[in-house]
Every structure is written in C-alpha cells, then in structure tokens.
Chain A
C-alpha cells in the first residue's frame, strides 16, 4: 500500500505542477460541456423555405402565410418557377420548396382533392423526416380550417382527437437528453486519454526503465497510475453535475450517491482500458491513435445520439464490451427516470466484472522486462 501511495503522491505533484495540463483537465472539458450542449441539438428549427405559387389565388397566398407564420418555417423568397426553387435548394439557401400547382383553388372548390408538392433537402434524413411531419401537420390544419369555414355544420365531426404526453422529458428539451451524454464524454476523455498518455510519456522519457529495475509489483504501479486520475475523474464528474443543475436545470431524480458509485466503478474500468493501451504502446503517437479509435467507436455505438433500440442486434451484443454504453444508459436512467439500485443491478454487476477484468488485463500487459 505504501508503495502505491508514493506513486500517487508523485503523480499528483506532477499533474499540479504542469499548469497547462491542469487547465486541460479541469477547464477545457467543462467549457466543452457548456458549449456543446447548445451545439449538439437535433431539434429542427429555423427551416427556410421558398414557395412556387402557380395558382396565385387568395387561398394559395393564405397557405403560404400559414407556413410562414409557424415558428419552425421562415419564408425566404417567392420563386417564379420550379427551376428557380431548385437553384435555391441546390445552393442551400432553402431546405424546402412548396409547390402549389395551377388549379389548386379550383380543385378545392370543386371537391377534387387538390395537391401540393413538397421538395425537401434530405441530406440529413432525420431532419427531413421531421420537416415533412411538421409540414403535413400545418397542411392538415389548414385543410381542416378551410373545410370548417366552408361547411360549418361539420365542425363536430367524429374525428379521433389524440393527446400526447411525453414522459421523463415532458418538454422534449434536447438539453435534458444530451447533458448526461456529454458528461459521459467528459469523464471518458479523462479516463481513456490522460492515464494512457501519462504512462507512455514515462516510457518515452526513460523513467519507466528506472521503475522496472525496482522490485515494485506490477499491480502497484498500475494502481498508482490509476488512482490519481480516478480521483480527478470523480471530481470532474461532480463539477459537471453541478453545472448541469445550476446552469441547465437538468432533472436529477435518482440518487446521486448511487450514480457516483456507478461512475466510480466505470472509471476503474475505463482507466484500466486506457492503461492497457498505454502498456502495449511504445510512443505517444501510437497510444493517441489507439485511444482515438476506441473512443470514437465506443462513443458512436453507445447510443449517445441514437436510441440503442434502433441499432442492429449485433451492436447490442458488441455493447456488452463497450464501457461507454454501460454509463450512457445508466446515467440517463438514474438522472432522468429516477431509477434505483435494483433497476440498474444487471448493468452494475456486469460493469464490476468488466472493470475487474480490465484491471487484470492492464496489469498483465504491463511488462517489466523486454
């Protein structure tokens, strides 16, 4: 134990003496958290559109203004032809073209189903889908309005009236969904990169040779490298939670202590993973490449942006080996749903097993002899 203490002490002195590193550890991730939460937003707002109105009647003008009046759509320009509209779409000036054909009003009045055409920029499929839905909703509303205006007696037709209620995030606030995800990124960065880089740096400086020639036990050395970043990671996580509470009013329904316990185990797992990569790398470039590869893979598969349920089945199996996925799921469960210990028990047990295994792997892959 004393040996581990001396290593931890040494690491802390080195970290606190390196002012640039300290800033990097404490300030940068928090600044990132605050900035990214506004940037990473999948809500669809501010959709610019143009109208090609071949009908040119009062009704078609009304339809245009209904679109423009909605908070989501902004009318950029009237186009005189489809070609003109295409140009705007190609240049990225608009995201949608509404084409109202000649005879739209006439069809409406004669009872033939009138048609309008929507052309949507679908490079991002998700937002195109949302734009389409919004637009249909507006058109549907408009349609009903007109029907009621013309045939007031149908006002109370027997249409099914649906009401929605969104659970756990009632206002569909994207920040509430993204905040826990960004917290995961923040402490995983520390976990994967810092310890691994620190390890390899000592190899490059030649200090590890001096360590290897002592009778230090491998587990002592790896623990000594792990503990400082474990403490920093937990501190950083608490700071992040505080920022979430104060600045973004993120709901924190479940037990914070349970979450901290889970994060403590998570950090052992991810730090061991980083140290394992450090142990098998010979240079900082090498370890950067390794950690970056795993960081991105783990992150994208973890369900930070996309619900895990929509991913292919194999991803869900791969995620048993993805540390990020364990935290991504449970942090949202505890904070947003208020899940308790029994709800997360399965993930907790698996994470403990994974953490212990990873620590053993890290210790085994650190070689004192060449």
Chain B
C-alpha cells in the first residue's frame, strides 16, 4: 500500500433496508492519520455506514477500500487491520479489566507475552494499574469508555472506528477521552468517529455531515464555519439541516 493512498475510500456506497435507503450514494476519502468525524442526528445513517466499513454489515452497492484492500473481497483480512468500539459499550461487563485485555488480545492473535506487556503498558498509561483485577461492570462509564478505546487499539490497528464513543458522559470526561484519540492519531492511527455532539466535531481534522442518509457537507470545521458564517459547529449543523428542510 502506497503511503499516499487514502486509509478509507468510499465510492457510491448505497445501503437499503427494504424500501428504506439508509445510505444514499456516499462518496468520500479519509487520509492516513486523519481524525475524521461523521456527524448527524440520530437516524441519519452514520452507524449504518460505519458498520459497513467495519465489515459487519453488507453494502447494497458501491465500492469500499479500507487500508488498500477491497472490502468485498478481503473482509476478514481488513478486520485484522482495524479496531472498533461501539456505541453499545462492548467490553465484557462480567470480566475483570485484565481478563478483557487477555480475551481481545487473544482474539487478535497476539502472543501471550505481547498481551502481558501491552496490558501493563496501556493500563499504566491510563493510570489504572490498581484496577487491573476489578470487574469492568463496576467501573464508572467514563473509565469503561477509555478502556474500550484502549482495547480497540491494543492490536495496533491502522484504522479505528468509534461509534458514538462518548455517549452518556460529562463534558470533562469527553475531553479526556479526546486526549486519547489525539494520542492515537499522533502515532499515525486513522480515526473514524461518529458523534452527534457538535463540540466534538471541532476536534476533528475534517467532518462529514449527514442528513437523511446523504452527505450534505464535508470539510474542515474551520472552513465549514467560514462558509456558513457560523460561530461554531452547532450553528453550521443547524443551518445546513434547516436549509435541507426547505
């Protein structure tokens, strides 16, 4: 894979559920190391698009290339190169922190010693060494999300997909979570994140705004604000959506 190739390339992606079109002809590219935000109201089709990119949902039509591989042909190979953290919190609540690391490390084909060193290093970085043997279900939401993100990155994927990763936590915890995202991006990991928090959109390199299954805007937050004459992303979003309604 050439270094200048995009991490994600989507051309004319369509997803239909019966008569309902969840994704209408999506076309976009995500560059390597980019933090790419997927914005939209609930039901705009963000999660559907992300699930297709992660290989857990099949597209109706269109061409998707992830990390240089064609999604239709190399679904399982792609899965080794990506990490995923879903809106419905995805660690095992009845396992301890350490057991979750061991399980997902094992599933991602890491060796025993790799798992051990990674677990210790990552927990140390999260300042959660003393929580190693705690049951995940007993931890506060913000910690669980940080853990889930860390575990999604444990096997050092090229791209991580985050589906509304910060749902249901306070702004301060969200801010801390985004620090983790920046750390990952600095190391060259491509981050694809869906959210409906407009303040989070400001943290992204580029955002793609979706409405009713279609892409209605795609650019850097600063440029979008300029283009729509808005003070923040919230205003940008409202202006775009209102214009669509007319």
A residues adjacent to B (C-beta < 8 A): 2-3, 5-7, 9-10, 13-14, 17-18, 205-207, 209-217, 368-370
Contact = CB atoms under 8 A, between A and B. Distances in A.
B93 A369 contact: no
Nearest to A4: B106
B86 interface: yes
B56 interface: yes
A55 B113 CA distance: 95
Nearest to A216: B107
Contacts of A217: 76
Contacts of B197: none
A10 B95 contact: yes
Given A10-B92, A13-B99, A3 B106 contact: yes
Contacts of B92: 10, 14, 207
Contacts of B177: none
Interface stretch (B31-39, B77-85, B179-187, B224-232): B77-85
B51 A14 contact: no
Contacts of B104: 210, 214
B94 A211 contact: no
Contact of B99 (A3, A7, A10, A216): A10
Nearest to B82: A213
Contacts of B90: 206-207, 209-210
Contact of A209 (B56, B82, B94, B106): B56
A2 B107 CA distance: 8
Interface of B: 51, 54-58, 75-77, 79-80, 82, 84, 86, 88-95, 99, 102-104, 106-109, 161
Given A2-B106, A370-B57, A214 B88 contact: no
Contacts of A6: 102-103, 106-107
Contacts of B79: 213-215
7 contacts: A9-B102, A9-B103, A10-B103, A214-B108, A369-B55, A369-B56, A370-B58
Nearest to A17: B94
B58 A369 contact: yes
A209 B77 CA distance: 17
* In the complex, the 4 A-B pairs of residues with the closest C-beta atoms, listed nearest first: A6-B106, A206-B88, A210-B90, A213-B84
A209 B57 contact: no
A369 B56 CA distance: 4
A205 B94 CA distance: 11
Q: Could you say which of B55, B86, B95, B107 has the most chain A C-beta atoms within 10 Å of its C-beta? A: B107
B115 to A, nearest CB: 9
Given A206-B89, A210-B84, A370 B106 contact: no
Q: Could you say which of A10, A17, A215, A370 has the most chain B C-beta atoms within 10 Å of its C-beta? A: A215
Given A2-B106, A370-B56, A215 B86 contact: no
B136 to A, nearest CB: 11
Given A14-B94, A207-B90, A215 B77 contact: yes
- The secondary-structure label for the interface of chain A is helix
B109 A2 contact: yes
Given A213-B82, A369-B56, A14 B95 contact: yes
Contacts of B86: 206, 209-210
B107 A214 contact: yes
Contacts of B77: 215
A216 B80 CA distance: 9
B105 to A, nearest CB: 8
Q: Could you say which of B55, B56, B58 has the most chain A C-beta atoms within 10 Å of its C-beta? A: B56
Given A205-B88, A370-B51, 16 more contacts: A2-B109, A5-B106, A9-B103, A10-B92, A13-B99, A14-B95, A207-B90, A210-B86, A213-B79, A214-B79, A214-B107, A215-B108, A215-B109, A217-B76, A368-B55, A370-B57
A5 B76 CA distance: 20
B126 to A, nearest CB: 19
Contacts of A207: 90, 92
Contacts of B76: 215, 217
Nearest to A368: B56
Contacts of A9: 102-103, 106
A14 B95 CA distance: 7
A343 B160 CA distance: 58
A49 B92 CA distance: 63
Nearest to B87: A206
Q: Could you say which of B79, B82, B93 has the most chain A C-beta atoms within 10 Å of its C-beta? A: B79
Contact of A13 (B88, B95, B106, B108): B95
A3 B107 contact: yes
Contacts of A209: 56, 84, 86, 88, 90
A363 B94 CA distance: 26
Contact of A212 (B56, B80, B82): B56
Nearest to B80: A215
A309 B115 CA distance: 59
A363 to B, nearest CB: 15
Nearest to B112: A2
Contacts of A13: 95, 99
A217 B107 CA distance: 10
A232 B3 CA distance: 51
A214 B77 CA distance: 9
Contacts of B107: 3, 6-7, 211, 214, 216
Contacts of B106: 2-3, 5-6, 9
B165 to A, nearest CB: 13
